[in-house]
Amino acid sequence: MTFMKRILAGTAATVALAASMTAAQADTWRYAFEEAITDVQGVFATKFKEEVEANSDHEIQLFPYGTLGESADIMEQTQAGILQFVNQSPGFTGSLIPEAQVFFVPYLLPQDEKELNEFFRTSKAINEMFPELYAEQGLELLTMYPEGEVVMTTKEPVAGPADLNEVKFRVMTNPLLVESYKAFGATPTPLPWGEVYGGLQTNIIQGQENPMFFVESTKMYEVTDYITFAGHNNFTTAIMANQDFFEGLSEEDQKMINDAIDVAFEYILDYQQGLTEESLAAIKEAKPSITVTRLSDEQRAPFMEAAKDVEAQFIEMTGDSGKEILEQMKADLANVSD
Query: Would you tell me which residues interact with ligand 6CS (CB under 6 A)?
Result: 34-35, 71, 89, 147, 172, 193, 210-211, 214, 235
As measured in angstroms, the least distance from the Cβ of 129 to ligand 6CS is 24
As measured in angstroms, the least distance from the Cβ of 71 to ligand 6CS is 5
Q: What letter would DSSP give residue 126?
A: I
Q: What letter would DSSP give residue 99?
A: G
As measured in angstroms, the least distance from the Cβ of 161 to ligand 6CS is 21
**Inter-residue contact 72 to 126 (CB < 8 Å):** no
User: What's the 3-state SS for 276-337?
Assistant: HHHHHHHHHHHCCCCEEEECCHHHHHHHHHHHHHHHHHHHHHHHHHHHHHHHHHHHHHHHHC
CA angle 330, 274, 264 (to 5 degrees): 70
Three-class SS state of 25: coil
As measured in angstroms, the least distance from the Cβ of 193 to ligand 6CS is 4
Nearer to ligand 6CS, 41 or 328 (CB): 41
d(CA 268, CA 168): 33
Q: Strands 226-229, 139-154: parallel, antiparallel or unpaired by DSSP?
A: antiparallel
As measured in angstroms, the least distance from the Cβ of 305 to ligand 6CS is 25
As measured in angstroms, the least distance from the Cβ of 56 to ligand 6CS is 28
**Cα-Cα-Cα-Cα dihedral of 177, 182, 183, 186, to 10°?**
110
Quick count: other Cβ atoms within 10 Å of Cβ 337? 10
Nearer to ligand 6CS, 48 or 235 (CB): 235
Nearer to ligand 6CS, 214 or 246 (CB): 214
Nearer to ligand 6CS, 86 or 336 (CB): 86
Nearer to ligand 6CS, 208 or 328 (CB): 208
Nearer to ligand 6CS, 71 or 180 (CB): 71
**Inter-residue contact 9 to 16 (CB < 8 Å):** no
